[in-house]
Structure formats: C-alpha cells, structure tokens
Amino acid sequence: MDGNFQSSLVNDNCFAVNRMLIGSDDVIRDDKYVPEGEFGMEDTGIYYRRLIRDGWNIVNQQENSRWNSETIFEKTLPNGWILRKIAHEQIDSPKGKGCYWDEHKLIAQAHKS
C-alpha cells in the first residue's frame, strides 16, 4: 500500500487512546503520531485539520464569549482573490444554524481587510 495513513478516525483516540475500533493488514498503525494543533475532540478536531490539509491557512482564532468562538481561515485563489472562511463554534447560534457553521467572504487581495 502506498502513502501514509495516520488517523484517529479509525481508532477511538478521543475517549480510549489505545482501543482499536477497526484493524486491517493493509494499514500500518503509527501509535506515536499526534496530529498538530489543538482543535478539540469533536467535529472541529477533524474538520480543521482537513481544511489545513486542503490548503487553508489559519489567520485568527478568537473567543467572543463562553461557548462562542470563531476560527478564521483563508485560501489564496487565482487572479488575486482570497477566500475567507469564518468557522463558528457556538451554543445558541442564529436560527437555522447548528453549533458549528461557516460563512465565506471573497476578497480581492489588494483590498484585504
């Protein structure tokens, strides 16, 4: 098998560090691998690492109040554009939104603010 497979998704690293949920002879387990970053144990712990893998950069993390924070990502696009993702993590979010939701802004790089 080609490539390097390192994931806490296949194993229950969130709640039982050494408890294997699924095993396979096709995958080599790396017990020493610890993903970079502190993004929590729920959805953001997977989603934010996936964004980083896909070329997004973390620009800012801010806590607005207890149970209400934002992580801002940016991705450079062709022709001088930047796509900004504001990833919200909050309780009592606006109507129609879950506890995790994103909004996006398209910014001309010369007018970045």
Instruction: Give me the pLDDT at residue 112, please.
Output: 60
Q: How many CA atoms does the CB half-sphere of 44 hold within 13 Å? A: 20
What pLDDT shows up at residue 30?
A: 79
Q: How do the pLDDT tens digits run along the chain, 113 residues long?
A: 445 545 545 555 555 556 677 777 887 877 787 777 777 767 888 899 899 989 999 999 999 998 999 999 999 999 999 999 999 999 988 899 989 999 999 999 876 65
pTM: 0.70
pLDDT value of position 17: 57
pLDDT digits (tens, 9 = 90+) for 84-101: 999 999 998 889 998 999
One-letter-per-residue 3-state SS of 92-113: CCCCCCCCEEEEEEEEEHHHCC
The predicted structure's pLDDT at residue 8? 47
pLDDT of residue 24: 79
